[in-house]
Amino acid sequence: MVTKQVNPLGMHKFAVFYMFSEATSSMALQRLRRLRVMNPDAIFIPVVGMRQFLYFPGIVDEFMLGPTRQLRLIGPVSHLINSIFQSAPGVYRLAKEINGKVGTLTGNSKLTELKNRARRENIQTIHADYTPMIYFNGDAAIMNWFNTAGKTLNFEYLIFYEFDMYTTKPLQQIYKPYLESFDACFKDYEEATPSWHFYNYPPGCSSATRKWLRRRKLKTKLFRSLFGGCIISHSILKKLSDLNIDFSGEPYCFAEMRLPTVITNLGFKCGKLDFPNCRFRPIWQEKEIYENEDGGIFHPVKFLTSVEIEFSA
C-alpha cells in the first residue's frame, strides 16, 4: 500500500538518519558539512552509536571490538555466541540499559565534546544511541529514535545514511524515481533464500522470524536487503510504533532481513534501489568515484574526498 501524503507547510521530504561511531565522529561531522549544503531542505539527525559493554562470553568479538588477527578463530565464534545471547528480548533490554548507564558515565566527556562541536556547525543536537550490537540492529536504533524524538518532526521519508556513504548528487535527485511508487526501498531487496548468509545466522533465526509473523497473523515470506541507504516512509514508522514493534530483540534475526520482512508482510509496498555503486567491499577510491560520478551514491568511502576537505577549510 503506497501511502500518499499531503505536503503541509513545514513538511520536509527527507529526514536523514546519519549514523556513525565514536571512533569515526571526526570524519563523519566533516562529511556532514557538505551533505547539509547539498541538501538544504532535508532534516539531518546525527546519531552516534555508543560503545557496547555487555558481552557473553566476554571475549573478543570480531565485529563489536574490531578485527584481531591473533584471534581469527575466537573472534567469529565469540560473535556468534554474543548474537544468540543478545537475541532474547530480556537480555537485549538489559544490554541496552547497561550500555546507557555505563556509557553515560564513561563517555560523557566525549559526547559533550561531540555536541559542542555540532553546535559550532549549527547542528542543534546529536542523538546518542545505545542499541546492543548496533551493526545488526539498525532498525531498532531507528525505532528508538522515532519513538523518543522522531514523532515530533514533519517528514515524509527517512533515509538510513551511514558515515561511509558518499553522494555526488542531491538526495532528492537520487531518490526521486522511487518516491511515487514505494513506501520503502532497499538495496538488494528480494526474497531471502537459504543460500544467503544471514538467512539462518544466528542459527534458528529464520524459523523464529516465521513464528513471530504467524503469531501476528502475517504472511511468513522472508526478504533480504542491504540496509545502508534504505528509505522508509513516515507512515511505516508510525505503523510500527502504533503496533509496538520496536525490534528490541524480536523477531530474532538480522536487521537486513527483519525490517524488509516485517514491513512487506504488513502490506507496505517495498522496492529495490538501483544503486550499483553501493557494495560491501572493496573501498572506493576518489579517482574511481569521479570516473563513475553519475552513479550518485557510493559505499564504502572511508576517507574524506578532496571536495569534502574544501568544505572543511
Q: What per-residue confidence (pLDDT) applies to 5? A: 42
Average pLDDT over residues 188-193: 98
Q: What per-residue confidence (pLDDT) applies to 65? A: 56
Higher pLDDT, 153 or 51: 153
pTM above 0.85, yes or no: yes
Which residues fall within 8 angstroms of residue 300, CB to CB, at 6 or more apart?
A: 164, 165, 279, 280, 281, 283, 284
| pLDDT tens column, 47-83 | 998 777 777 777 667 666 555 455 566 778 888 888 8
Q: What per-residue confidence (pLDDT) applies to 66? A: 54
Q: What per-residue confidence (pLDDT) applies to 216? A: 96
| Residue 39 pLDDT exceeds 90 | yes
| pLDDT tens column, 84-133 | 888 777 888 888 888 888 766 666 677 888 888 888 888 878 998 989 88
Q: What per-residue confidence (pLDDT) applies to 155? A: 97
Higher pLDDT, 49 or 229: 229
| pLDDT tens column, 237-286 | 999 999 999 998 889 999 999 999 999 999 999 999 999 999 988 999 99
The mean predicted confidence, pLDDT, of the chain is 89
Q: What per-residue confidence (pLDDT) applies to 156? A: 97
pLDDT band at 8 (very low <50, low <70, confident <90, very high): very low
Average pLDDT over residues 164-173: 97
Domains defined for the chain, CATH in brackets: 12-50+107-312 (3.90.550)
